[in-house]
Amino acid sequence: MPHVWEKTYPPGIRWDMKFEPTSLNAFFDHAVSRWSSHACLDFMDKKYSYSDVADQVHRMAEGLQKLGVGPGVQVGLFLPNCPQYVISFFAVHKAGGRVVNLSPLDAERELRHKIDDADIDFIVTLALNALYPNVAKMLGSTRLKKVIVSGLEEVLPFPKNLLFPLAKKKEIAKWPRDDRHVAFKDLLKTAGKPREYPVKDPKTEVALLQYTGGTTGVPKAAMLTHANLTCALQMFDAWTAGGNKPLLEEGKERCLVVLPLFHIYALTAVFLRSFSTGAEMVLHPRFELKAVMQDLAKKKITVFPGVPTMFAAINAAPDVGSYDLRSLKYCGSGGAPLPVDVLEKFEGMTGCKLSEGWGMTETSPAGTSQPLYGERRKGSCGLPLPGVLIEIVDVDEPTKLLGIGDTGEICISGPNVMQGYWKNPKATEEAFAGGRFHTGDVGKIDQDGFVFITDRKKDMILSGGFNVYPRNIEEAVYEHPAVAECTVIGVPDDYRGQSAKVFVKLKPGMTPFTFDELKTFLGDKLAKYEIPVALEIRPELPKTIIGKLSKKELVEEERRKYEAAKAEGKGP
């Protein structure tokens, strides 16, 4: 398939641009040298310059080395959006170690799996009841050696009992001062001169283990190299530099960061990208509409990356007209399909272009993006970014290439694509059949190079930007003593895109349970974003001719119900 998309590129952008893969350490040093005195972070109005961050990074790196962190050592980051995440991410690499991103939303069993699977020896977390107790359960039952614990008061510009909901007394976790625990602030009490471990080959040395369900729903870690991440950054930079003039001005942008830094979208396209452009990151621990609206206006935010649910919430805010959002110059949406009406309303209200893109954990997550200048084709996730090769293969014959306009599985190649899955050569081999990465998404490329995603090979549910796998939910539901059979499907959700619904057949003689009772039962087994939104108990569930539970009948039923409700103006 020819690179048909290049003819549709905005002026000044070439598909065959040259990339300069480098290490994250060199990338960090270059950013600090350029933007030393510029503001780097704003967390609850406490500001850090690039040199402030660099000082703490080097101090922590030396402290980590004294604990035993170095080449071949994995350090887990079990943190929400906070300065400790930014400092820890670069400090681990400066120490010679490797970062493993852990979601603060992980249930106990997910966290345990990742610690064991990724060979994590050290974890950095906060002294919050929502975080630390889960980590404490891992000591003694996993290979975990030490927990590095930070208190919020270390980074807040005001007493911890004021203004910040997570810092309320009841949310603060107590932790023992013993040889298995290290205070984050004590780790910084060094000269800040860690031993240097040069990255010999950025193309092959893994910098990050980023967990994903991939295309099968089985949790596994994508091995992302230094080159994968730094080349993805150059792809993003090239895209906004095209057109009549560069969209972003180096050293002058202010980015509102509400997307979780542990997620690949925020990690690369927001956090690392801010360092590459010298932007100031205004960190929010979570998306809270009022706080977001206030900072968008008050702090004159120029860049706001989000997911469709965030832009829909802003559109629907009853007092949105009272906020001045004219400082915005670039907003990006990813993680799930962006409804056209959400895009048009947001752009009309703010005067700022909202650009939709597509990518995956395995692609760092560079993939496609709608052009910032010229035509943006409705229903498309955009054009392949510079250096990204998108190909369509036959769903049943994964090595057979298809042509323009043909529908099949979307495959991707490029310097941004992962090295493979950690300790899982079989899954790696399957994912790279024919020498290209198979995404599991089904779609096509039109004559002008626009990519359209029309379906999914697997049952993955995209809910509010998170990948939700029915199999994981089904296994947890099956643990309920009253459940004989269950199946989970994605149902339309105007806010999240999709949400999970559970269908259950009870064992003979068992008393039906309520949806609230099911949610309570699943609370310690699933992440919050995996919890279903609805339950339906039926005497029988659809099956195939060979007796296998079938989802297609349920999916069709829910689709018809949704469309009928929309037609009557009642909503889903």
Domain assignments of the chain as residue spans, ordered by start? 24-36+44-225, 361-456, 463-567
Where does the pLDDT of residue 570 fall: very low under 50, low under 70, confident under 90, or very high at 90 and above?
A: low
- Give the pLDDT of residue 547: 58
- Rounded CA separation 422/219 (Å): 11
- Rounded CA separation 397/375 (Å): 34
- Rounded CA separation 454/409 (Å): 10
CATH code for residues 24-36+44-225: 3.40.50.12780
Minimal CA–CA distance to 87: which of 51, 38, 117? 51
β-pair partners for 444: 452
Q: What three-state secondary structure class fits 238?
A: helix
Where does the pLDDT of residue 468 fall: very low under 50, low under 70, confident under 90, or very high at 90 and above?
A: confident
- Rounded CA separation 124/516 (Å): 33
Measured over the CA atoms of residue 314, residue 318, residue 319 and residue 324, the dihedral's sign is: positive
Inform me whether the pLDDT recorded for 439 exceeds 50.
yes
108 versus 224: the higher-pLDDT residue is 224
- Rounded CA separation 527/104 (Å): 9
Burial class (CB in 10 A: 0-12, 13-18, 19+), 57: buried
255 versus 457: the higher-pLDDT residue is 255
Q: What three-state secondary structure class fits 292?
A: helix
* Mean pLDDT (whole number) for 465-481: 85
CA distances from 89 to 76, 79, 98, 354, 360 (A): 9, 11, 9, 29, 20
- Give the pLDDT of residue 1: 55
Under a CB-based contact definition with an 8 Å cutoff, are residues 431 and 457 in contact? no
Beta-sheet strands, E only, within 385-533: 389-393, 408-413, 420-421, 437-445, 451-456, 461-463, 466-468, 483-493, 497-506
Inform me whether the pLDDT recorded for 166 exceeds 70.
no
pTM of this structure: 0.86
SS3 content of the chain, % helix, strand, coil (to 5): 35, 25, 45
Where does the pLDDT of residue 214 fall: very low under 50, low under 70, confident under 90, or very high at 90 and above?
A: very low
Q: What three-state secondary structure class fits 29?
A: helix
- Rounded CA separation 240/255 (Å): 15
* Mean pLDDT (whole number) for 433-437: 95
- Rounded CA separation 3/449 (Å): 7
Check: CATH 3.60.20.10 for 463-567? no
Under a CB-based contact definition with an 8 Å cutoff, are residues 513 and 505 in contact? no
Q: Which residues contact 390 (CB under 8 A, 6 or more apart)?
A: 5, 367, 368, 384, 410, 411, 412, 445, 451
Tokens at residue 178, please?
């013993």
* Mean pLDDT (whole number) for 217-237: 92
**Tally of CB atoms within 10 A around 447:** 10
Q: What is the DSSP letter of 188?
A: T
Backbone angles phi, psi at 256, to 5 degrees: -85, 120
- Give the pLDDT of residue 406: 95
Under a CB-based contact definition with an 8 Å cutoff, are residues 69 and 75 in contact? yes
Q: What is the DSSP letter of 15?
A: T
CA distances from 533 to 205, 424, 562 (A): 41, 33, 15
* Tens-place pLDDT, residues 257-299: 999 999 999 999 999 999 999 999 999 998 999 999 999 999 9
Mean per-residue pLDDT over the chain, rounded: 91
Length of the chain: 572
- Rounded CA separation 283/292 (Å): 10
- Give the pLDDT of residue 76: 98
End-to-end CA distance of the chain: 41
Backbone angles phi, psi at 523, to 5 degrees: -55, -35
In CATH, which superfamily holds the domain spanning 361-456?
Luciferase; Domain 3 (2.30.38.10)
- Work out the percent of the chain whose per-residue pLDDT is above 90: 72
Where does the pLDDT of residue 458 fall: very low under 50, low under 70, confident under 90, or very high at 90 and above?
A: confident
* Mean pLDDT (whole number) for 139-166: 76
Treating both helix axes as pointing N-terminal to C-terminal, what angle do 24-35 and 226-241 enclose, rounded to 10 degrees?
40
Where does the pLDDT of residue 216 fall: very low under 50, low under 70, confident under 90, or very high at 90 and above?
A: very low
**Tally of CB atoms within 10 A around 54:** 22
* Tens-place pLDDT, residues 86-136: 999 999 999 999 999 999 988 888 899 999 999 999 999 999 998 999 999
- Rounded CA separation 160/165 (Å): 9
- Give the pLDDT of residue 55: 98
Q: What is the DSSP letter of 252?
A: T
- Give the pLDDT of residue 322: 95
Element at 101 (helix H, strand E) = strand 98-101
- Chain centre distance of CA 452: 21
Under a CB-based contact definition with an 8 Å cutoff, are residues 267 and 296 in contact? no
CA distances from 508 to 157, 485, 511, 518, 539 (A): 59, 11, 9, 18, 10
Write down the residue that tokens 């029915």 correspond to. Answer: 470
The alpha helices in 333-380, defined as continuous H runs, are 340-350
Element at 47 (helix H, strand E) = strand 46-49
Query: Cα-atom radius of gyration of the chain, to the nearest Å?
Result: 24
Tokens at residue 476, please?
């947890």
Q: Which residues contact 410 (CB under 8 A, 6 or more apart)?
A: 390, 391, 392, 439, 441, 442, 443, 451, 453
Minimal CA–CA distance to 391: which of 428, 458, 437? 437
Inform me whether the pLDDT recorded for 207 exceeds 60.
yes
Q: Are strands 206-212 and 146-150 parallel, antiparallel or unpaired?
A: unpaired
